Amino acid sequence: MDFNLGEEHLAVRDAAADFARNELLPGIIERDNAQHFDTALIRKMGELGFFGMMVSPEYGGGGMDTLAYVIAIEEIARIDASAAVIMSVNNSLVCWGLEKYGTELQKQKYLVPLASGKMIGAFCLSEPEAGSDATSQHTTAVEAEDCYILNGTKNWITNGNTSSVCLVIAQTDPDKKHKGINAFLVEKGLEGFVVGKKEDKMGIRASDTHTLMFSDVKVPKQNRIGEDGFGFKFAMNTLNGGRIGIAAQALGIAAGSFDLSLKYARERKTFGKPISEHQAIQFKLSEMATKIEAARLLVYKAARLKDEGKDYVMAAAMAKLHASDIAMWVTTEAVQIHGGYGYVKEYHVERLMRDAKITQIYEGTSEIQKLVIARELLK
């Protein structure tokens, strides 16, 4: 498997890195403090094509492969994990599933504006009593004459307030269990659709995370994704691809922390010489770099397998498991290398450490990834 990057992938990497440094870095501490979702910056990301990277040009997307997408995610997350998760949800969890399984009408109405960034999407699976367990849906969608009546609550929803359309997973026929689950495109503004409280989070604070509530919301039948009962399979297939995006985000957070640590180690002096000349610091930097590179290879492998149409489920789970654990470890070491300066916001590593933790949680905890890997190994 060749991981040498061609001109197109290098151009994507450079464009994402330039945008992150020049547009996202200024004001990032203030956005984190204020939990401010900057719509102007998000709009710029859409204009640059970051929200529909893998979408076919037929629907206004970039027509790029998964590898190009994860390269861009890594570069954005090096600087701003909040922007990276907004981008990841729109690309992996909304656009990908809609293009692969949606009708032509759904694609024209929703995918085209989602790919351009004119519209932001949200993926609604988690519930107060069901995290990533798509089989335990308490949100219901009861079939009526010309619509489905949607009732329930979804929480931890990224882009919850700023999204224009949500992919909602709901139980239509409880007797059929997972075969009675469906996925629906639900527009904001429908009667009974209420955006609840904004979560006050430890990390990725500049992305908006809300509870969404549905009370007798009438969803047109034409907004159902796929055949009746396809929702569980839709959610699982979407989450498999989503894990690659989260792994890339974790990789970027780790890489950004390492960049800052390397720079600081060269500049900070103790006992008359840069701390980079102390063996203890050299050991830390060496191990950080090695673990980041191993995570990058796992992420790239999962992306390549997906692009080649091969089974990537285990590779995606491995990439997500390893990269998220490495992100947490590397950011902790980065704070340690910075010493007291690492504990203050000015040096950025404390924010990256807070941002890293969520990568071990969303798209399934580390324990869920291990179950996925074990299931694939024991097939």
Coil vs helix vs strand at 183 = strand
CA dihedral 162, 51, 38, 113 (to 10 degrees): -50
pTM score: 0.95
234-378: CATH superfamily: Butyryl-CoA Dehydrogenase, subunit A, domain 3 (1.20.140.10)
Instruction: Measure the CA angle with vertex 356, ends 49 and 350; round to 5°.
Output: 110
Q: What is the pLDDT of residue 364?
A: 80
Residue 366, Cα to own-chain centre: how many angstroms? 15
pLDDT at 221 over 90: yes
CATH of 122-231, one of 3.40.718.10, 1.10.3720.10, 2.40.110.10, 2.60.120.620: 2.40.110.10
pLDDT in tens, 96-136: 999 999 999 999 999 999 999 999 999 999 998 766 566 77
Q: How far apart are CA 185 and CA 203, in angstroms?
A: 28
7-120: CATH superfamily: Acyl-CoA dehydrogenase/oxidase, N-terminal domain (1.10.540.10)
pLDDT in tens, 227-239: 999 999 999 999 9
State the DSSP string of 234-245.
HHHHHHHHHHHH
pLDDT in tens, 15-50: 999 999 999 999 999 999 999 989 999 999 999 999
**Domain parsing of the chain, residue ranges:** 7-120, 122-231, 234-378
Q: How far apart are CA 128 and CA 132, in angstroms?
A: 11
Catalytically active residues, by annotation? 363
